[in-house]
Amino acid sequence: MKTPSSFLKVKELTTAVVAFFLLCTFPLQPSAAAPSDNTPTQQSPTAPWTPPPPAKDEFDWIQLTSDEWLKGEIISLYDDTLEFDSDKLGVLKLDWEDVKQLRSGRQHDINLSNQQEFSGKIRMEGEKMVVLTDQGTEELNREETVAIVPHGGGERSLWKSKITLGLNVRSGNTDQLDYNLMASLRRRTAKNRLRLDYIGNLNKTDHIETSNNQRLTGQYDTFSSDKLFWRPFFGEYYKDPFQNISDRVTIGTGVGYHIIDTSKTEWDVFAGPAYQYTNFDSVEDGESSSEGSLALVLSTDYETEINKRLDFIAGYRVQLTNQASGGYSHHAITTLETELTDNLDFDISLIWDRIQHPTKTSDGATPERDDFKLIFGLGLDI
């Protein structure tokens, strides 16, 4: 017996209505094993990534304050600048304050401002520094760190040098040549400090020399504490025929004090006795061509980091002698140093030299008391 087609159509319609009713009343739930694309999943929090422990005598790890990790070798820490040889990025110069963690795989020598020295592997995080020495574990404060160099081979890293060259050439109605050279050499450890500086200036206008002076200074300091230092020797050679000085040599000793010594700012003051000997370029008839005198030397040096690329440096030195040697004289220099690259700077320097009682020349002329120089130059850090 055949079922009427109308009956089948009614049955199919009824089944569809019931199915729709059930779906509306009991919606399907997504499977826990296969979440839908639109359903957010919850993940358990994980600890931040950290590098594996450094392998013995292989590489070092540093983490920046941006949480980036770098693998390579520590070249040195000097003057609050960390030189790091990255495997992929090459040699980097990083501000010490931008380093968050440090893990060394090799032994390093650490010099502190309180004259302590340690040798071992370094584990640093934040302000806490741990050195794993052969005798045990030492906990240090990173703010007291003066230098870090590889153990047994870091002498070169203790040195810092810079050469600044300024040149101005003009031709036409007036031919003029201005040449300026400034050079400095530094060595610093926890116990001592060596500093050498040279400044040379030459000016020719229409092939006639109108300025020619040279100044070379050197000093050596030893620290008896993190603030007080003794300068067993300092010396200066100065030459300026236009100030009627053929040669002037000053040698002395004294003590100094760190007023400020932070990662951004250094300020020293110094005082001590000295002896000054001067040969004059020419003198009037009957006058001595040379003069020696005891001297009192007072000086101050100030350096601060204005921002990441701009530094301000100032130095002032006073020498008090007898009147025949010039009486009161001073040398002042200020420099605004702008970092163009890691090794190249653009420097603007203002120099002021003064002699209170300049010696008259053979024709009776008295040199000017004050000399000012404004120097623009490119400086190369070596």
Distance CA 292, CA 97 (A): 49
Tell me, yes or no, if the pTM score tops 0.75. no
Retrieve residue 228's tokens: 């007080």
Residue spans per domain, the chain:
60-153, 158-381
Residues 6 or more apart in contact with residue 341 via CB below 8 angstroms:
none
Decide yes or no: CATH 2.30.30 for domain 60-153. yes
Residues 6 or more apart in contact with residue 355 via CB below 8 angstroms:
243, 326, 327, 328, 329, 367, 369
* CA–CA–CA angle 77, 81, 82 (5° rounding): 50
Reported as a pLDDT band with limits 50, 70 and 90, residue 16 is: low
Nearest CA to 51 out of 96, 98, 93, 103 is that of 103
Backbone angles phi, psi at 22, to 5 degrees: -65, -40
Topology of the domain covering 158-381: Porin (2.40.160)
What Rg do the C-alpha atoms of the chain give, in angstroms?
36
Q: In the chain, how long is the greatest CA-to-CA distance?
A: 156
Encode pLDDT of 154-170 as tens digits: 677 778 899 999 987 77
Q: Residue 4: pLDDT above 70?
A: no
Q: How far is CA 153 from CA 9, 71, 85, in A?
A: 96, 20, 16
Encode pLDDT of 231-289 as tens digits: 999 999 999 999 999 999 999 999 999 898 777 888 999 999 999 999 999 999 888 99
* Fold agreement (60-153, 158-381): no
